[in-house]
Structures are given as C-alpha cells and as structure tokens.
Amino acid sequence: MRLTLRQRASWLAHLFKASAQQHHLPLREAFRSHIPDDAVVVDIGAHAGQFSKLFARMAPRGTVYAFEPSAYARSILEPALRWNGIGNVRLTPAGLSDGVGQTVLHTPIKRSGSMGFGTAHMGGVPAATHHEQGVVLTTLDAFASTEKLTRLDFIKADIEGWELRALKGGEATIRRFRPALYLEVDAACLVRAGDTPEDLFDWLGGLGYSAFASPDHRPVSAWQGAGDYLFVATEKP
C-alpha cells in the first residue's frame, strides 16, 4: 500500500516501538501455567507483534502461530520479529472467522493522517476516513487440520469484534485441545459481527469454560464491561 509522508513517519515510529519495546510483561504470571516452554499458541490479530514476542519468549521450544490480515501491520511485525531474533513465530497473512472466504478490512485514518491500525476491523460500516484492504479468511479448524496440530495450549484474540466468529470457526479444535483463551470482549465492537458479549460468554460456557476478568483475573460469571478476559476450561462440555 502507498503511504503518505506523514504515514511513513508514523510507520517508522510504530516499527521502533514494536522492535524496541515489550508490552504486556505483567501478564506473564497469569499466563505462566497455561504456556509451558514448549507450548503451541495461536495469536489472532497479531498486530505489531507485542503478544507474539511475549509468547515466543515464554515458549522458546514451542511455536506461535500468528494471524494478521493487515498488510500495514505485517510490514511492522515481520521486521520487528527479525530485529528481536525471534524464529518460532509463524505468520499467516489471513484473518480467522467462522467460514473460509474473503472480506474487507477497514483501517481508520487518524486526524493526524497516520494509520490507526490498532483498531482495524472487519464488518460494519466505518464511521470515519479509512483505508480498505481485501483480505483472505480461513478457520482455525481448517488451519489445525492443514498443520496437523497435535496440541494447542493458548489462544489470544483481539480482533475488534470478530472474536466469537473466530472461535466458532475453531470449535472442533477448541473442544479437542481445551486451550486457555485470552480475549478482548467489547460490546461496541462485537455488534459489527452481529454478536454480543452475552453471546460469547454463553457459547464458551457451553464448552465448559470459566471466565476471569483482567487485570486482576478475578472469577466472573458474566460480562463485566469492555476489557480483556481469560477463559479457562474447567468442565467438560
């Protein structure tokens, strides 16, 4: 994609942050029991790679499968991984959904002119100036079959409202491996896909998952507002 001069400058800033900084370090303790050093992790919506880097370092003998449909995000993620010498992240340039196909990814353009790639989303009608990119969609079940996965320890998904769609496309895989799930759950985003937080909690509850709200990871029985939630399989579906 062609970038303006302002967007090129912000791209350099994004690349520096992605390469030189490591976010989410406080989450290591909450994740430690779910991500052993040989873990298999799926990072849905890898963005600039902050979570992928964290997972890769927590599981140096494992593999992180990162899904990122945004060409802009990948142009930052790939060099950031190389800069950090991380070789156990496998990047797939596609989105995960409940079906195989294609859609449009909308990336907001900020008032400054820079790319708001952290809030790029599928579905819904953009309310502001945005960049459109056609993207490929696959399912976690199809991917797991193609890759012949024999384990899956952890899934992180932050895809601006498409979380339940991505999980439903991996239902067989989730039932088989019972991975822990770390999800962004935001009603305003989920509505783009025609879903609600209650839909997501009910669906995971039906699979035997219990929820814990960040940042203190206290157990909750229902959605407590927009934020990140850790879901752990505690019962058989």
Is residue 115 situated within a structural domain? no
pLDDT of residue 127: 62
Residue 34: count other Cβ atoms within 10 Å of its Cβ: 18
> Which H or E run includes 184?
strand 180-185
What is the residue-averaged pLDDT of the chain? 94
pLDDT of residue 64: 98
- Whether 178 has a pLDDT exceeding 90, the answer reads yes
**Which band of pLDDT confidence, cut at 50, 70 and 90, is reported for residue 224?**
very high
pLDDT of residue 20: 95
- Whether 3 has a pLDDT exceeding 90, the answer reads no
Is residue 71 situated within a structural domain? yes
Is residue 65 situated within a structural domain? yes
pLDDT of residue 126: 66
| Contact present, 56 and 24 (Cβ < 8 Å) | no
Q: If 0-12 CB within 10 Å is exposed, 13-18 middle and 19+ buried, where does residue 153 land?
A: buried
| Contact present, 120 and 73 (Cβ < 8 Å) | yes
Is residue 186 situated within a structural domain? yes
Per the rule left: phi > 0, alpha: psi between -120 and 50, beta: everything else, 232 is: beta
pLDDT of residue 108: 87
Is residue 21 situated within a structural domain? no
Among 11-15, 96-100, 167-171, 194-198, the least confident range: 11-15
- Rounding to the nearest 10 degrees, give the CA dihedral for residues 27, 32, 38, 44: -40
pLDDT of residue 125: 67
pLDDT tens track for 39-94? 999 999 999 999 999 999 999 999 999 999 999 999 999 999 999 999 999 999 99
3-state secondary structure of 234: coil
- Whether 22 has a pLDDT exceeding 90, the answer reads yes
Whole-angstrom distance, CA of residue 66 vs CA of residue 105: 17
Is residue 127 situated within a structural domain? no
Whole-angstrom distance, CA of residue 117 vs CA of residue 47: 8
Beta-strand relationship, 180-185 and 130-138: unpaired
Q: What percentage of the chain reaches a pLDDT higher than 90?
A: 83
Q: Look up the pTM and report it.
A: 0.95
- Domains identified in the chain, total number: 1
Is residue 191 situated within a structural domain? yes
- Whether 235 has a pLDDT exceeding 90, the answer reads no
pLDDT tens track for 129-160? 888 999 999 999 999 999 999 999 999 999 99
Among 18-22, 60-64, 116-120, 192-196, the least confident range: 116-120
3-state secondary structure of 149: coil
- In terms of residue numbers, what domain contains 146? 5-15+34-98+137-233
Beta strands in 36-153 (DSSP E): 40-44, 63-67, 89-92, 95-96, 101-108, 121-122, 130-138
Is residue 24 situated within a structural domain? no
CATH of the domain at 228: 3.40.50.150
DSSP 25: G
pLDDT of residue 93: 98
